[in-house]
Amino acid sequence: MVSRKKIIREILEKYRVIWSLRLAGSLMGWDQETYMPPKGVTERSIAGSNLAVLRHQLILKPDFVELVEKASRKRSLNDVERGIVRVLKRAIDQARKIPPEHIAEFSKTTTLALEYWKKAKAEDNYDIFKPYLAKIVELSRKTAEYLGYKKHPLDALLDLYEEGLTTDDVDSMFSRLEPGLKRVYDKIMAEHPVPEKHPLEQTKYNVESMKKLNRKALDVLGYPWDRARLDVSAHPFTIGIGINDVRITTRYEGFDFKRSLLGTIHEFGHALYELGVDQRFIATPIAGGVSLGVHESQSRFWENQIGRSKPFVTAFYPHMKRYLVFLRNYTPEDVYLYFNTVRPSLIRTEADEVTYNFHIMLRYKLEKMLIEGSLSVDELPEVWNQEMERLLGVRPRNYSEGVLQDIHWSMGSIGYFPTYSIGTLLSAQIMRRIKQDIPNVEEDISRLRFRRIQRWLRENIHRYGSMYPPKELVRKALGTDLDPEVYVSYLEEKYLSR
């Protein structure tokens, strides 16, 4: 009988080629959003889809599959080995079920769709994007059929982003969240009528100064520049090209500086997760964050729990004032209020901590309907607008403020949005747990010292990479499951006692 160790070693050796293709694919994706000349897109999409097919073939190579199956039958696997086998079995299972032609078609479609979404958004013309969205919905439904599901076709897609997540989970999460959220939101609206716009939202900044401020923020947070980058892209994102090559992007719209700053801090949270994975996991299947929900818990933690907190805003205020001279006319308290203005907004990425989850509920509801076929892409913009009115009482005046605002569907990511809520809710639970585990942690934040917090995150979450499935990791780290009530309490405490 071949030893457990030998099998795992062989698996990892063969996997290294697949990992190499993933690394190349990640770099190609990063480059496409940052530096690729626009006309490079055709060749890029040919290469992207060919390499995706190649990866697919390598994952399904009989000798590889057999090794993974052999390993999965071993009883004595340790946690790392079990993680490796679990992740690979999932990948093999998915690859087996989805035909390569479907993957190639999907990849080619989304590469084009992304370009046409950009064009459609720039010209505020939904019709430019509509046929590509229709195609993506159709292909995604096919994906769900290929993957199989017990109850709802969206279940199959949810699982792609958040292992084990079902529409039942999401429905339950939102049904537990909505009443509390609505209660808090209504109270805030009643207690604190907010101005239509905070003056700082309209204040223009100098882009070069803002770039320096973002770099300063990353310095203060301890971003390791020798292992990481910050660049500019239309839609901010984080990508782990390797454990020691993680890249975030931000954008500079020229006004409303919190969007660029908090966006950068948000991506920093994602990056820190990828950077914190155990170095021994390099080139293995578990060398990266386990799921989008857990990932978002990290970005939201730094953006909301740290970045929008009073101790952070107060302590970081002098740096902000140094780079953005107009802040001389504002106190730290003003900036704190500006960072935490609650009001109904049209754009998800500009939404505050209270209204944000309403935006996700809307998207989840619509993509569920799109996938089950109870809503067409023709009806979509109007239903979007109706839902906005129902949930937040506001109505988009154009497509860019409505259905065209997000990049996700154009990239073929249907079933992705709920992970934003999962992460947002988890981030409050993580902070609650950190406050229990680290004495006087607020003092750390007031002194802009993040070492103890980062060590907690690394020890309890980051270092494991994808070793444990998300629900298990959450239970391990927090001693409890996802709990929407904690988030509602957090909002009540922050917004109703001030």
Q: Which residues bind its own copies (CB under 8 A)?
A: 16-17, 19-21, 23-25, 27-28, 31, 35-40, 42-44, 46-48, 50-51, 53-54, 224-229, 231, 241-245, 282-283
- Hey, what amino acid is at 304? N
Using the minimum distance from each CB to its own copies, give the nearer residue, 24 or 60.
24
3-state helix, strand, coil in the chain (%, to 5): 70, 5, 25
Which of 81, 162, 267, 274 is catalytic? The answer is 267
Q: Is 267 a catalytic residue?
A: yes
CB of 273 to its own copies, least distance (A): 17
Q: Which is nearer to its own copies, 25 or 332 (CB)?
A: 25
Q: Which is nearer to its own copies, 285 or 423 (CB)?
A: 285
At 379, is the secondary structure helix, strand, or coil?
Answer: coil
Tokens describing residue 386: 């109706």
Nearer to its own copies, 242 or 396 (CB): 242
CB of 245 to its own copies, least distance (A): 3
Distance separating alpha carbons of residues 325 and 3, to the nearest angstrom: 65
Q: In this complex, which beta carbon is closest to its own copies, that of residue 100 or of residue 311?
A: 100
The least CB distance from residue 281 to its own copies, in Å, is 11
The first and second tokens of residue 488, run together, are: 């509602």
Residue 71: other Cβ atoms inside 10 A: 21
**Helix (H/G/I), strand (E/B), else coil: 247:** strand
Q: How far apart are CB 478 and its own copies at their closest, in Å?
A: 31
Q: Give least dist CB 396 to its own copies, A.
A: 32
> Least distance in Å: CB of 90 to its own copies?
22
Q: Using CA atoms, how far apart are residues 54 and 56, in angstroms rounded to an integer? A: 5
**Side-chain half-sphere CA neighbours of 84 within 13 A:** 29
> Cα separation of 243 and 229, whole Å?
13
**Is 377 within 8 Å of 410 (Cβ atoms)?**
no
Comparison of 9 and 16: residue with beta carbon closer to its own copies? 16
Q: Where are the alpha helices (DSSP H) in 60-99?
A: 62-73, 79-97
The token pair at 213 is 């401020």
Q: Are 129 and 405 contacting, i.e. CB atoms less than 8 angstroms apart? A: no
Task: Name the residue with tokens 């660029």.
Answer: 260
Task: Look at the block and give the residue holding tokens 């444990």.
Answer: 468
| Angle in degrees, CA 308, 310, 315, rounded to 5 | 100
Task: Show which residues are catalytic.
Answer: 267
